[in-house]
């Protein structure tokens, strides 16, 4: 190869540093233990909101949401009010893969969230969550028959898995095996410079079974332990492959956000409805039915705590004009700051768009972003009637405690977007970075 530099990135979706340390102490996970003991291991901060599509997009663009345009799991059409799931079509900036490709560096990427449909890159890419169809999850398409031959499974069936834990682990083990077989397919010829593999299975276990990881008396503790020990062996195989690479190499282990035990879900649209800021024309037919938003609404929320002022200049049914904007904003903030659950404040910070996303030119930039207190999971459904509730999940995202390990002990990485910039700097050094 023309370029001998190589970087291996092991992505551990939803892995907090404190969780990793606990498991390395209590479980048999020698390989992860070795990694988190590297000199460059520490916790960093996630981008806000602390969601996978926001953070993995920040990772693979080297920018925050104000630069790449992905602000959450869903997007609302300002004319029709239809809501769609975020995917790669929403990414509005260059990726590190394209930047590296312009300098003849080759990337191979497995299961990276928010890369569906798979973009054309110099290398190979297999999309990660949300990726519903293998036909559009792979670039170049010549690899699709090979992935079918090895029974590659894009994602575990968590819909049934919520109620059937043993089935959930069957599915997670299938996807873990799929990741192993994809590594075997894409690694051996070493015709690459950047190799990325993301294990999203961690996030699924954390959402549905977080307490079971820590509680030895929990009926599913053993299943959690067995899975993580199996994952550790896959990590060990990767690290062993890495150590056998020639010099001029770098290893990173990265997460997108931390995790903690769930106290309760908090539906922000229910809060706004009770306060009279959000009005619906009729009963929503689903949690993502944004078409029910009335022209009498002052605002609405999208996941997890993004609030949009219902501005006339942007939304077809908008009510708020520029002269009212600041007063409406002030009233909403006052309402949200007072929100409590069993005597506990729900919201830790109320951030305005100019402060959290400086310079953003995207019309879908939220006006307010809420940062919850640890343990509260902010939601924004359109078919719920109760502000507080639990719906089959026991763990929730946390913006801090994000696992990051680096064999080069970089001090420049403080949040997720910095990892992408650090990868570019390693390969390009004095060349102009992502613009």
CA distance linking residue 320 with residue 297, whole number of Å: 9
42-44: strand order across its sheet: 42-44, 402-406, 249-254, 6-12, 194-199, 107-112, 123-127, 138-139
Kindly report the length of the chain: 435
Expressed in percent and rounded to 5, the helix, strand and coil fractions of the chain are 35, 20, 40
Alpha carbon distances (Å) from 307 to 286, 303, 333, 351: 19, 9, 10, 10
What is the average pLDDT value for the chain, to the nearest integer?
A: 96
CATH number of 264-389: 3.30.1360
Task: List Cβ neighbours of 20 (8 Å cut-off, separation of 6 or more).
Answer: 12, 32, 36, 403
The whole-number pLDDT of residue 430 equals 57
Domain limits of the chain? 6-262+395-428, 264-389
For residue 352, what are its two tokens? Answer: 């305005």
- Tokens representing 116 are 């569906």
Query: Residues 106-126: what's their mean pLDDT?
Result: 98
Query: Cβ neighbours of residue 326 under 8 Å, at least 6 residues apart?
Result: none
1 pLDDT band, cuts 50/70/90, is: very low
At 331 the pLDDT is: 98
pLDDT digits (tens, 9 = 90+) for 293-343: 999 999 999 999 999 999 999 999 999 999 999 999 999 999 999 999 999
- The answer to whether residue 361 scores a pLDDT higher than 80 is yes
Tell me if the domain spanning 6-262+395-428 has CATH number 3.40.720.10.
yes
In the predicted structure, residue 432 carries a pLDDT above the cut 60: no
Query: Cα–chain-centroid distance for residue 408?
Result: 25
Would you state the pLDDT for residue 431? 61
pLDDT score of 163: 82
pLDDT band at 174 (very low <50, low <70, confident <90, very high): very high
pTM assigned to the model: 0.96
Q: Contact at 8 Å (CB) between 112 and 60?
A: yes
Overall average pLDDT of the 125-136 stretch: 97
């Amino acid at each position: 190869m023309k370029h001998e530099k190589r970087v291996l990135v092991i992505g551990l979706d939803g892995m907090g540093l404190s969780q990793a340390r606990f498991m390395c102490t209590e479980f048999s996970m020698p390989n992860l233990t070795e990694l988190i003991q590297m000199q460059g291991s520490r916790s960093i901060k996630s981008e806000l909101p602390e969601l996978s599509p926001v953070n993995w997009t920040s990772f693979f663009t080297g920018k925050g949401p104000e630069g790449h345009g992905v602000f959450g799991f869903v997007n609302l059409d300002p004319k029709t009010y239809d809501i769609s799931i975020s995917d790669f079509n929403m990414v509005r900036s260059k990726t590190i893969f394209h930047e590296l490709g312009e300098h003849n560096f080759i990337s191979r990427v497995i299961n990276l969230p928010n890369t569906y449909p798979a973009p054309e890159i110099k290398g190979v890419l297999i999309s990660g969550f949300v990726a519903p169809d293998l036909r559009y999850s792979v670039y170049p398409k010549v690899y699709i028959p090979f992935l079918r031959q090895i029974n590659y499974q894009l994602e575990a069936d968590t819909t049934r898995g919520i109620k059937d834990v043993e089935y959930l682990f069957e599915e997670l083990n299938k996807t873990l095996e799929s990741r192993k077989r994809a590594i075997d397919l894409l690694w051996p010829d070493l015709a690459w410079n950047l190799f990325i593999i993301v294990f999203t299975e961690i996030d699924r276990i954390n959402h549905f079974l977080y307490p079971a990881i820590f509680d030895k008396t929990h009926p599913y503790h053993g299943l959690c332990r067995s899975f993580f020990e199996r994952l550790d062996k896959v990590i060990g195989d990767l690290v062993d492959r890495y150590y056998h690479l020639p010099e001029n190499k770098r290893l990173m282990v990265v997460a997108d956000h931390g995790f903690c035990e769930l106290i309760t879900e908090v539906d922000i649209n229910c809060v706004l409805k009770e306060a009279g800021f959000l009005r619906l024309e009729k009963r929503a037919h689903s949690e993502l039915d944004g078409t029910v938003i009335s022209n009498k609404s002052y605002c609405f929320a999208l996941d997890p705590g993004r609030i949009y002022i219902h501005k006339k200049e942007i939304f077809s049914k908008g009510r708020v004009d520029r002269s009212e904007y600041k007063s409406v904003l002030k009233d909403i903030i006052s309402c949200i700051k007072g929100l409590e659950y069993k005597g506990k404040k729900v919201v830790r910070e109320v951030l305005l768009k100019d402060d959290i996303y400086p310079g953003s030119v995207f019309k879908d930039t939220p006006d307010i972003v809420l940062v919850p207190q640890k343990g509260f999971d902010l939601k924004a459904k359109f078919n719920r009637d109760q502000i507080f509730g639990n719906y089959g999940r026991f763990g929730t995202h946390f913006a801090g405690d994000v696992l990051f390990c680096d064999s080069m002990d970089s001090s420049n990485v403080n949040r997720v977007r910095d990892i992408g910039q650090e990868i570019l700097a390693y390969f390009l050094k004095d060349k102009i970075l992502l613009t």
